[in-house]
Structure 1
Amino acid sequence: MRILLVKTSSLGDVIHNLPVAADLARQIPGIEIDWCVEESFADIPRLSPAVRETIPVAVRRWRKRLFSGATWREIGALRRRLAGGGYDAVLDTQGLLKSALIATLAAGRRLGHDRNSAREPLAARFYDQTFAVPRELHAVERNRRLAAAAFGYAPPPALDYGIAAPAFAAAWLPETPLAVLLTATSRDDKLWPEADWIALGRALEKRGLSPILPAGNAVERERAARIAAAIPGAVAAPPLSIRELAGVLGRARLAVGVDTGLAHLAAALQVPTVALYTATEPALTGVAGAGFARNLGGAGRPPAVGEVLATADEALSG
């Protein structure tokens, strides 16, 4: 059987879909799995040995250049690629109109959430068969249950993302054990105070860990540099790809992060992970994994440094 998974974005959502590929590979011998994903997140399904081919799309970029001839040539190439994929089934776990429309480009029976389960009910009109999945479940479990219903098996009891960190080495990485501090996120109200990061980083350094602070854009790099400068032995990492970040995380004894997809990646890699919430609730989308994964705080309830440090000590003692 050959199937296409459609889960295009965002980073955390794509990571939450990895257990679907792992479950399918275990439950259906000989299955071939392709995955359609936003180009900036294509490194995530490429970490999974269960995924045969990753097919990038560029919906975010196309929207900005809708009247460009190059955009429509890329869309045409995607349509031909999906139509010729020889898929027996197409599973859209995203449940959005954009993902449902991508699913219609592929040959094969289209499967997805019913209108009461989909994030955008209109998406359900584009599937050949739909399935009810409770909305109050964690996002990882919703994905797994949808796949299990679509392909007729019981979800395995153990949660497995099915990935391992790639090897990574760099001259700027300290030889001492690492604590990766993920200070950047997509919204300012999700940030944790810089003073708190500094206090945490100094405490972790006293425990023999070297804090590493990755960052993406220029503003995030400036913030990481300020925090790192105030912590002995800390390193503000240079720009890294998602695959390189996975390699850095794989070498860490601990990851502490705000509400960001990279915290989910750490948990998926079974790195002991502490996630900090300040503006959102973690019940449905917090970090989840087979290893140590804890969510602290919530909307309007940022965790205190002492609570984070106590949880970090618990993770390190395991």
Structure 2
Amino acid sequence: MRILIVRTSSLGDLVHMLPAMSDIARHVPGARIDWVVEESFAEIPSWHPSVENVIKVAHRRWRKAWWSSQVRDERKALRERLRDTRYDVVLDMQALLKSAWLVRQAHGVKHGLDWKSAREPLASLFYDVRHKVEFWQQAVVRQRELAGLAFGYTPSGAPDFGLQRFARVAGVEAEAYSEYAVIMPSASRADKLWPERDWQAVFGRLVEAGCCLRLLAGNEEEATRARHLISDFETAEVVPRMDLTAIARLLAGARLMVGLDSGLTHLSAALGRPTIGIYRASTPVRTPLVGDSYTASLGDRGAPPSREVVLAAVGQALAA
């Protein structure tokens, strides 16, 4: 069965998709899965052993020059690529107008969420088959349920993210860095940030436990902030900017991770590492950390966790 999955972004949402791919592979004999994804996140679908082809889209880049000759050529190439294969099922797992636009260009029976379930209800008008999935459910559960409805099975068991390949390289990273903790203290929005003194209390607890600190930063501004946070800690460094696969390898070898609510924090949990997520501008109700090791999704929108709560979770993660 030829299957086209459409889910283009974002990093955390794509990580939450992976268990649904494992379910499809387990329940649909001979499933051959292609996945349409934003170019900057194309590594993520490629990690899953059941995804055969990754088809890149560049909405984020195209929006800056939609009618330029280069963008028109790239959109034409994508359209021809989508029409080149006849799929048995085309499944939109994003339910936005931008994903429905991609779905309509592909050949095959088009599945997606119904009017009441879709984030953008108008997207449901572009599907041949519509499915009801309760919106309040956790993201991983919601995606697994949608895939099950599309292919006629009931998901069961713990989520399998299909990231076992990284467990095999975890030992290499651990040897390279000794015992270390990965920290993600930065975010694109100021309302997500956690107080500096609270971070430094966490750093002190980790150093006492024998952990070196490896801080992630997505740009120079975040790197500058990270360097300021660790200025009093000798066994700490800001990791140079890396691609997603290199970051996944780093996370896979960590003793634990502590991070703001970000895609990389969710990736750490999916990799089976003890992970603590700090929520301040978002809620963990629908997007908690999910993994097969210790996880703690702390705080909520407008109610960040206290230093004491996070330190207690760090103690539990270290024990795990």
Shorter-chain TM-score range: over 0.9
Q: Aligned letter for 1:102?
A: L
List per-residue Cα deviations over 1:274-316 (Å, max 9, x = no partner).
Answer: 1001122110012112222210011222112221121121122
List per-residue Cα deviations over 1:121-157 (Å, max 9, x = no partner).
Answer: 0000000100000011011111110000010001122
Whether the 8 Å CA contact 1:205–1:232 is kept in 2: the answer is no
Give 1:246's aligned residue.
Answer: 248
Q: TM-score, normalised by structure 2?
A: 0.95
Report the more deviating stretch, 230-239 or 174-183.
Answer: 174-183
Give 2:49's aligned residue.
Answer: 49
Task: Work out the CA distance in 2 between the residues paired with 1:67 and 1:7.
Answer: 24
Answering whether residue 222 of structure 2 is matched by residue 223 of structure 1, we say no
Whether the 8 Å CA contact 2:110–2:128 is kept in 1: the answer is yes
Q: Aligned letter for 2:225?
A: R
Task: Work out the CA distance in 1 between the residues paired with 2:241 and 2:38.
Answer: 20
Q: Unpaired segments of 5 or more residues in structure 1?
A: none
Q: Secondary structure at the match of 2:86?
A: coil
Give 1:40's aligned residue.
Answer: 40
Q: Aligned letter for 1:121?
A: P
Task: Work out the CA distance in 2 between the residues paired with 1:87 and 1:187.
Answer: 40
Answering whether residue 103 of structure 2 is matched by residue 103 of structure 1, we say yes
Tell me: CA distance 1:75–1:173, structure 2 relative to 1, closer, same or farther (3 Å).
Answer: farther
Task: Work out the CA distance in 1 between the residues paired with 2:140 and 2:86.
Answer: 28
Shift of 1:56: 0.9
Q: Write out aligned runs for 1:133-152 (5 A).
A: 133-152=133-152
Whether the 8 Å CA contact 2:215–2:239 is kept in 1: the answer is yes
Answering whether residue 205 of structure 2 is matched by residue 203 of structure 1, we say yes
Whether the 8 Å CA contact 1:202–1:232 is kept in 2: the answer is no
Q: Unpaired segments of 5 or more residues in structure 2?
A: none
Give 1:7's aligned residue.
Answer: 7
Give 1:307's aligned residue.
Answer: 309
Q: Aligned letter for 1:263?
A: T
Whether the 8 Å CA contact 2:5–2:93 is kept in 1: the answer is yes
Give 1:117's aligned residue.
Answer: 117
Task: Work out the CA distance in 2 between the residues paired with 1:270 and 1:42.
Answer: 21
Shift of 1:231: 2.0
Q: Aligned letter for 2:15?
A: I
Q: Aligned letter for 1:43?
A: E
Task: Work out the CA distance in 1 between the residues paired with 2:219 and 2:213.
Answer: 19
Task: Work out the CA distance in 2 between the residues paired with 1:283 and 1:112.
Answer: 23
Whether the 8 Å CA contact 1:198–1:231 is kept in 2: the answer is no
Report the more deviating stretch, 104-113 or 159-168.
Answer: 159-168
Task: Work out the CA distance in 2 between the residues paired with 1:170 and 1:146.
Answer: 37
Shift of 1:172: 12
Q: Aligned letter for 1:270?
A: G
Q: Secondary structure at the match of 1:88?
A: strand
Q: Secondary structure at the match of 1:232?
A: coil
Task: Work out the CA distance in 2 between the residues paired with 1:174 and 1:300.
Answer: 39
Task: Work out the CA distance in 2 between the residues paired with 1:210 and 1:175.
Answer: 8
Whether the 8 Å CA contact 1:255–1:266 is kept in 2: the answer is yes
Answering whether residue 257 of structure 2 is matched by residue 255 of structure 1, we say yes
Task: Work out the CA distance in 1 between the residues paired with 2:244 and 2:270.
Answer: 13
Whether the 8 Å CA contact 1:39–1:57 is kept in 2: the answer is yes
Q: Aligned letter for 1:155?
A: P
Report the more deviating stretch, 277-286 or 159-168.
Answer: 159-168
Shift of 1:85: 2.1
Shift of 1:169: 9.5
Task: Work out the CA distance in 2 between the residues paired with 1:215 and 1:169.
Answer: 23
List per-residue Cα deviations over 1:160-187 (Å, max 9, x = no partner).
Answer: 1111327379999963211100112231
Whether the 8 Å CA contact 1:277–1:302 is kept in 2: the answer is yes
Q: Secondary structure at the match of 1:134?
A: coil
Shift of 1:317: 1.2
Report the more deviating stretch, 300-309 or 101-110.
Answer: 300-309
| C-alpha RMSD of matched pairs (Å) | 1.7
Aligned length: 318
Shift of 1:105: 1.1
Give 2:31's aligned residue.
Answer: 31
Q: TM-score, normalised by structure 1?
A: 0.96
Report the more deviating stretch, 156-165 or 100-109.
Answer: 156-165
